[in-house]
Structure 1
Amino acid sequence: MEQQPDDVRAAVGGRLRAARAARGLSVGALAARAGIGKGSLSELENGSRNPTLSTLYALANTLELPLSELLADRPGTEVASPGITARLLETTTGDEGTVEVYALTLSPGAVHVSAAHGPHVVEHLLVTRGAARAGPAGAETDLETGAGTAWTSDVEHTYRALGGRPASAVLVVRTPT
């Protein structure tokens, strides 16, 4: 993953620290609940570590927040994990919840496994280039360019490029209030 600018890492760290403090959690307690190292969380909060997509989702899910809130609602912010890169395009929040829009790039040969999100969170995926397999683990859908699918993401789900080539997609995540 490309190194995040210092101001983005600092903003992510500040959001993490504020969300943790608002819930009365220590660094150790949040790290244990999210399944990450206490030192890693401390480095993230201090803006000295580049976060991965998987780590940020583990923290967002534990804190019961949309990922974009930890990304400081900054369009253009990019995070990655092996096999996947997500760039935040837009976030809107209203009475009914939060809608996040991401541009995804899936690398060939890798499967990205995403942990379950909160209850009633729905993901909509539209493949814009190449082919991909995505959806709830064990019930994924194969998608060609121009095809889409949606699923309730309160279960483990996966993303994979097909055909030995990268794939691009737009992902819309709706988190109810």
Structure 2
Amino acid sequence: MVGPGASTGARIRALREERGMSLSALAAAAGIGKATLSELEAGRRNPTLDTVYAVAGPLGVPLVALVAEAGDSDALSDDALTAVRLHLLTEPGRTTEVYLVRVRPGAERSSPAHATGAVEQLVVLSGEGRLTYGTPGSEQVVALVPGTHVTWPADVPHAYACTSTEELSAVDVIVTPG
């Protein structure tokens, strides 16, 4: 039986094999179970946003490399947020993804480090919250209010939280080299 996440699983497997990574090595680097990764690659498990984020970094690719395909939905969602892809620009040496991100009131979305050299920018449209990024012990915290524009190295763990009763809406731009 092959599920709707089969194309994402196939892309993950192809990228892992291109990089000469074993299933065990990618699972360990992504912090997910080997069985989970195996089921995902085989198309027997639907990918969650957490899992796709977790494997994109160790594979050194932007999120869109794992989920984008003609006819696929341009929206990614989980319990904390919805991200709608507004634009994708692939150029020699870099990929730029532009998303409209909405974080639900009281929710927090943690993201593992993206590929080495990735940079992220956030422009807050409405709502309030906070952005935390960096490695434990050297984390930076930025208050998010309408009009805030922040740029940070996205190749470190980071998290968005909505602290208001209104959802936090922002434009998120991710530039990944490679």
Q: Same fold (TM over 0.5)?
A: yes
8 Å CA contact retained: 1:135, 1:150: no
8 Å CA contact retained: 2:56, 2:115: no
Match of 1:32 in 2: 28
Equivalent residue letter for 2:12: L
Q: How many residues align?
A: 171
Q: C-alpha distance in 1, partners of 2:128/2:65?
A: 29
Q: TM-score, normalised by structure 2?
A: 0.83
Match of 1:160 in 2: 161
Q: C-alpha distance in 1, partners of 2:111/2:58?
A: 14
Match of 2:148 in 1: 147
Q: Deviations over 1:69-112 (max 9, x none)?
A: 01135574333344223233322111231101122111222222
Tell me the CA shift for residue 29 of structure 1.
Answer: 2.7
Taking a change above 3 Å as real, the CA distance of residues 25 and 120 of structure 1, as seen in their structure-2 partners, is closer
Out of 44, 48, 68, which is 1:48 matched to? 44
8 Å CA contact retained: 2:57, 2:116: no
Out of 11, 14, 17, which is 2:13 matched to? 17
1:134 aligns with 2:143: no
Q: C-alpha distance in 1, partners of 2:36/2:84?
A: 22
Gaps spanning 5+ residues in structure 1: where? none
Tell me the CA shift for residue 136 of structure 1.
Answer: 1.7
Tell me the CA shift for residue 61 of structure 1.
Answer: 0.6
Gaps spanning 5+ residues in structure 2: where? none
Q: C-alpha distance in 2, partners of 1:11/1:88?
A: 18
Structure 1 runs (4+) greater than 6 angstroms displaced: none
Q: TM-score, normalised by structure 1?
A: 0.84
Equivalent residue letter for 1:86: A
8 Å CA contact retained: 1:140, 1:158: no
8 Å CA contact retained: 1:93, 1:99: yes
Match of 1:100 in 2: 97
Q: C-alpha distance in 1, partners of 2:45/2:101?
A: 22
Aligned alpha-carbon RMSD (Å):
2.1
Percent identity among equivalent residues?
42
